[in-house]
């Protein structure tokens, strides 16, 4: 069995790490370079860096910040936010990113996934999906959760895989920042219906939530932000706990 991955996420706004609840009420969480270095040293398996207002504000992701973070870590590094074309991908990979996350731009123009996979390889392309569970099911949102689309979670994830995405990063907007656990039922269905890795995001509050997302949710990786940024859970201690629960983890 492949080892499960623990992935801290750095949501960046105006050059600083922030964390909110249900995608709003953002508060400062620290310097992204210092946090990235600390997580790399603590044993995180990967990092995700999302410029959360880039698509909404029409900006490009901070290339210089990506360079600074890449210089300070020794683990794989995914960057997202404001990526609309292949030149954006090339610029960020050149700055030190290992993978690229696309969300809003892919919803608006799904062919972008094909283009990234064809030019840089599927392993570079992470399809990020922000979805909210409503009375009519799970529906995808763009521009940092501000705009509802006509895309349904499971069909869009499947289309992303078919177009060449190498991983799906699914964030449940209902669970984001609430700390009551991940959307395990939806995650389990994604895992059953797709053959590429599923990264779970939204809902981590205690160590048991990570155990549950790997067992009940069948996720390949668990992403979290606030519980790491504010010191509620240390990655080294989390990995010891998961090992004690017989979950295969990288040490």
DSSP-derived letter for residue 113 is: H
* pLDDT score of 30: 67
Report residue 94 as tokens.
């050149």
Whole-Å CA distances, 17 to 30, 107, 148, 229? 5, 25, 25, 9
pTM of the model: 0.91
Cα three-residue angle 182-188-214, rounded to 5 degrees: 60
Cβ neighbour number for residue 41 with a 10 Å cutoff: 14
**Mean pLDDT of all residues in the chain?**
89
pLDDT, tens digit, for every residue of 41-63?
Answer: 999 999 999 886 654 444 555 68
Q: Which of 130, 176, 212, 220 is catalytic?
A: 130
Q: Where are the domains of the chain?
A: 5-244
DSSP-derived letter for residue 183 is: -
Q: Largest Cα–Cα distance of the chain, in whole Å?
A: 46
* pLDDT score of 251: 79
Domain at 5-244: CATH architecture: Alpha-Beta Barrel (3.20)
Active site residue 130: yes
Question: Lowest mean pLDDT: which of 49-53, 97-101, 157-161, 188-192?
Answer: 49-53
């Amino acid at each position: 069995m492949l080892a499960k991955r623990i992935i801290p996420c750095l949501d960046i706004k105006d050059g600083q790490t922030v964390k909110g609840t249900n995608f709003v009420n953002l508060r400062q969480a620290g310097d992204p370079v210092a946090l990235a270095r600390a997580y790399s040293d603590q044993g995180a398996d990967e990092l995700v860096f999302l410029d959360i207002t880039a698509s909404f504000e029409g900006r490009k992701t901070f290339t210089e910040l990506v360079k600074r973070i890449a210089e300070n870590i020794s683990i794989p590094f995914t960057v997202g936010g404001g990526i609309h074309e292949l030149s954006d991908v090339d610029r960020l990979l050149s700055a030190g990113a290992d993978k690229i996350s696309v969300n809003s731009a892919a919803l608006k123009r799904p062919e972008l996934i094909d283009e990234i996979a064809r030019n840089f390889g599927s392993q570079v392309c992470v399809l990020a999906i922000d979805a909210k569970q409503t009375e009519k099911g799970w529906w995808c949102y763009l521009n940092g959760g501000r705009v509802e689309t006509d895309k349904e979670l499971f069909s869009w994830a499947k289309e992303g895989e078919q177009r060449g995405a190498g991983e799906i990063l699914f964030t449940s907007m209902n669970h984001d920042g609430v700390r009551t656990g991940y959307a395990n039922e939806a995650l389990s269905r994604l895992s059953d219906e797709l053959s590429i890795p599923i990264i779970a995001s939204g809902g981590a509050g205690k160590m048991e939530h990570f155990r549950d997302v790997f067992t009940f949710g069948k996720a390949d990786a668990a992403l979290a932000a606030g519980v790491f940024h504010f010191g509620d859970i240390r990655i080294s201690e989390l990995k010891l706990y998961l090992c004690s629960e017989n979950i295969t983890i990288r040490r």
